[in-house]
Amino acid sequence: MYSVTVSDHVMIAHSFRGTVFGPAQRLHGATYTVEATFRRERLDQDGIVCDIGRALDVLKEVLAPLAFANLDELPEFAGRNTTTEFLAGVLHERLKARVRDGALGAGTAGALASLQVVLRESPVAWAGFDGPL
């Protein structure tokens, strides 16, 4: 199985609800370094998994609504804890939708097997979501 990974980052504010979060219940923030790994059984005729420039663009595109945002105020996250792992799942879903819409090329959409999204929140903690495309 081949794979290509692209990375970008985003800076956000948010707070969590639930005693399990301790001091992170307060409004705080994070720099997330985000890695998206696209997997594919065979390379296309150009010898690639997908266009790496387009993959970087699509990643930036799905990160844009989070960039310099207070996630507590985004309607789509109302009533949810925007934990690192939750956001990994959300970004997986949004990247998947963009891929299906042809953002990486019409031929690529059907050829990709799966996608892993990893968000690094600090030198000692990161989270991810891995699933089919």
In the complex, the residues that contact a copy of itself under the rule CB under 8 A are: 1-9, 11-14, 16, 18, 20-24, 26-31, 33, 43, 46-49, 51-53, 56, 67-70, 80-86, 88-89, 121-131
Least separation, in Å, of the C-beta of 24 and a copy of itself?
5
The two most distant CA atoms of the chain are separated, in Å, by 53
Give CA–CA dist 16/8, Å, rounded: 24
Token pair 């990709």 is found at: 112
Task: Name the E strands within the chain.
Answer: 2-14, 28-40, 69-70, 112-122, 125-132
Smallest distance, Å, CB 130 to a copy of itself?
A: 5
**Residue in 89, 97, 99 with CA at minimum distance from that of residue 128:** 89
For a copy of itself, which is the closer residue by CB, 95 or 128?
A: 128
Q: Specify the residue, 65 or 97, whose C-beta has the smaller distance to a copy of itself.
A: 65
**Residue 84 CB, nearest approach to a copy of itself (Å):** 7
